[in-house]
Amino acid sequence: MKVNIEIDCTPLEARQFFGLPDVMPMQNAVMDKLQQQMMSNIEKVSPESLIQSWFTFDPKIAERFQDMFVTMAGLGSSRSSDKKK
């Protein structure tokens, strides 16, 4: 004998039926805290601040980035020949 029971309910109704605690306030608190941390750190990840932190580390890094982009664009042969002279 095989019996199938199909119950149509929301997750909240299922938790209440089984006597499980309501975790919605805890989830909301965690999400609010996460959002506050993300918003406080969002300026550290902006392109301007990243580039500024990279360029303040090494004064010649701007020149190195330029060389890297020239090489990637396939124009590196003219710059490398200038350096050999």
* The 3-state secondary structure of the chain, one letter per residue: CCCCCCCCCCHHHHHHHHCCCCCHHHHHHHHHHHHHHHHHHHHHHCHHHHHHHHHHHCCCHHHHHHHHHHHHCCCHHHHHHHHHC
Q: From residue 25, how far is each of 10, 28, 31, 34, 70 by CA, in Å?
A: 17, 5, 10, 14, 54
Q: Between 23 and 33, where is the model more confident?
A: 33
Q: Between 42 and 38, where is the model more confident?
A: 38
Residue 69 has pLDDT above 60, yes or no: yes
Q: What percent of the chain has pLDDT over 70?
A: 81
In a domain, 1, yes or no: no
Residue 51 has pLDDT above 80, yes or no: no
In a domain, 61, yes or no: yes
In a domain, 40, yes or no: no
Average pLDDT of span 47-62: 72
The range of the structural domain enclosing residue 80 comes to 11-35+47-84
In a domain, 3, yes or no: no
Position 62 confidence tier, pLDDT thresholds 50, 70, 90: confident
Domain count of the chain? 1
In a domain, 41, yes or no: no
